[in-house]
């Protein structure tokens, strides 16, 4: 399936582990574990996680708990899965019971925000959800046009800025009010992703969040940060900054189909304690997948 093929580059990177473990024997442990650590590092699991995993395998091997290559492989998969699930945060969208639920999508330009928003609208519509899109990237003239194309493609309604001076918070608040009045299930809010010199993107996002909350107490229900999967570990400082300022409830990691750095999925969850909710594994409408930790582990370490 597409999750499997989406992670094929990361899997290729990690395939060396199978060869290593096929011929593993006790006397070879140090060399094999060194190379295994290297494979994890190359796939952007990050030094902290790579060392933690390898040291835990080493102590289990020395304690006689792992006796074959395939037992080591299973233990490796188990520890990656544990890293992804131990923080206990939910990978499913948490939308509450009041309608409309509001999802605010944030992230810097070029990361795949608009595409992910479109794909998410498509997915929700297929589930029978009534979706209203809101074009809250009022800085970039082309952004609204691009989102309108996605609205058309997915058969969704959209609220766009009226007049050149319309500000993002007022567009989003208008959309949420319309969502309430017209019985929408979900309002999907796009936001700006450009870093301005004289105007802070983060201030803008805070203003958007407040405007949404004023229009609908308790909202936004989700603030999803879109991160470019090809940047690997470099996404960490960006994830931290967005989280400190707007409070991120979940990640969408995009372009993982073009990236051999899929280990960053694990490091971003471990470092921030925030779940990955969706992964982008291609450019098609269907290529935004709900993140399933177990399927992910099987896709990268099959
Ligand atoms: P934005 O500036 O953050 O809104 O970024 P866009 O949504 O316009 O995406 C930038 C580019 O990345 C576009 O060419 C998208 O088709 C592409 N893209 C987005 N998500 C994915 C993905 O999951 N896989 C691949 N291969 N390309 C993607």
DSSP notation for 164-213 = TT--HHHHHHHHHHHHHHTT-SEEEEE------SSS-HHHHHHHHHHHHH
Provide the terminal-to-terminal Cα distance of the chain, rounded to the nearest Å.
13
Nearest-angstrom CA–CA distance, 156 and 148: 9
The atom number, within ligand 1, closest to the CA of 282 reads 24
Q: In what order do the strands lie in the sheet with 186-190?
A: 157-159, 131-134, 186-190, 101-106, 222-228, 250-254, 276-280, 288-290
Q: What is the pLDDT of residues 246-278, one digit of tens each?
A: 999 999 999 999 999 999 999 999 999 999 999
The atom number, within ligand 1, closest to the CA of 117 reads 7
Nearest-angstrom CA–CA distance, 218 and 213: 6
pTM above 0.90, yes or no: yes
User: What phi and psi values does residue 17 have, to the nearest 5 degrees?
Assistant: -65, -40
- Average pLDDT for 16-22: 94
Q: Does the pLDDT value for residue 197 go beyond 60?
A: no
Q: What is the pLDDT of residues 131-179, one digit of tens each?
A: 999 999 988 878 899 999 999 999 999 999 887 778 999 999 999 999 9
3-class SS at 252? strand
Q: What is the pLDDT of residues 44-73, one digit of tens each?
A: 999 999 999 999 999 999 999 999 999 999
**Cα-to-centroid distance, 227 and ligand 1 (Å):** 10
Evaluate: CB of 261 within 6 angstroms of ligand 1.
Answer: no
Strands 250-254 and 222-228: parallel
- Looking at every residue in the chain, the average pLDDT score rounds to 94
The atom number, within ligand 1, closest to the CA of 288 reads 23
Q: What is the pLDDT of residues 107-126, one digit of tens each?
A: 999 999 999 999 999 999 99
Triad 238, 240, 246: Cα angle to 5°: 95
Beta bridge partners of 252: 226, 278
Q: How confident is the model at residue 235 (pLDDT cuts 50, 70, 90)?
A: very high
Evaluate: CB of 229 within 6 angstroms of ligand 1.
Answer: no
Nearest-angstrom CA–CA distance, 269 and 275: 6
Mutate to test the pocket of ligand 1, among 3, 110, 112, 286 (most ligand atoms within 8 A of CB): 112
Q: What is the pLDDT of residues 204-225, one digit of tens each?
A: 999 999 999 999 999 999 999 9
* Sign of the CA dihedral running 35, 36, 41, 44: positive
**Cα-to-centroid distance, 199 and ligand 1 (Å):** 25
The atom number, within ligand 1, closest to the CA of 254 reads 23
pLDDT at residue 61 in the model: 97
**Cα-to-centroid distance, 229 and ligand 1 (Å):** 11
Q: What is the pLDDT of residues 67-105, one digit of tens each?
A: 999 999 999 999 999 999 987 678 999 999 999 999 999
């Amino acid at each position: 399936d597409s999750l499997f093929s989406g992670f094929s580059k990361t899997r290729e990177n990690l395939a060396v582990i199978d060869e290593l473990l096929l011929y593993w024997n006790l006397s070879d442990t140090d060399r094999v574990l060194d190379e295994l650590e290297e494979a994890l590092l190359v796939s952007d699991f990050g030094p902290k996680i790579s060392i933690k995993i390898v040291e835990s395998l080493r102590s289990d091997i020395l304690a006689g708990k792992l006796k074959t290559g395939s037992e080591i492989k299973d233990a490796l998969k188990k520890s990656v899965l544990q890293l992804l699930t131990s923080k206990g945060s939910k990978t499913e969208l948490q939308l509450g019971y009041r309608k409309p639920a509001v999802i605010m999508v944030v992230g810097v330009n070029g990361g795949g925000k608009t595409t992910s928003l479109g794909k998410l609208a498509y997915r929700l519509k297929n589930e029978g959800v009534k979706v209203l899109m809101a074009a809250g990237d009022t800085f970039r003239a082309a952004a609204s046009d691009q989102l309108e194309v996605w609205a058309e493609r997915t058969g969704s309604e959209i609220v766009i800025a009226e007049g050149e001076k319309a500000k993002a918070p007022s567009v989003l608040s208008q959309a949420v009010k319309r969502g309430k009045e017209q019985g929408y299930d979900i309002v999907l809010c796009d936001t700006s992703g450009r870093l301005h010199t004289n105007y802070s993107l983060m201030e803008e996002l805070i203003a958007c969040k407040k405007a949404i909350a004023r229009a609908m107490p308790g909202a936004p229900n989700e603030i999803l940060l879109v991160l470019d999967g090809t940047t690997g570990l470099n996404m960490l400082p960006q994830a931290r900054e967005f989280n400190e300022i707007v409070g991120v409830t979940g990640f969408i990691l995009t372009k993982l189909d073009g990236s051999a750095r899929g280990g960053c999925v694990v490091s971003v969850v471990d470092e921030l304690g925030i779940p990955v909710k969706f992964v982008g594994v291609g450019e098609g409408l269907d290529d935004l997948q709900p993140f399933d930790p177990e399927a992910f582990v099987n896709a990268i370490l099959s």
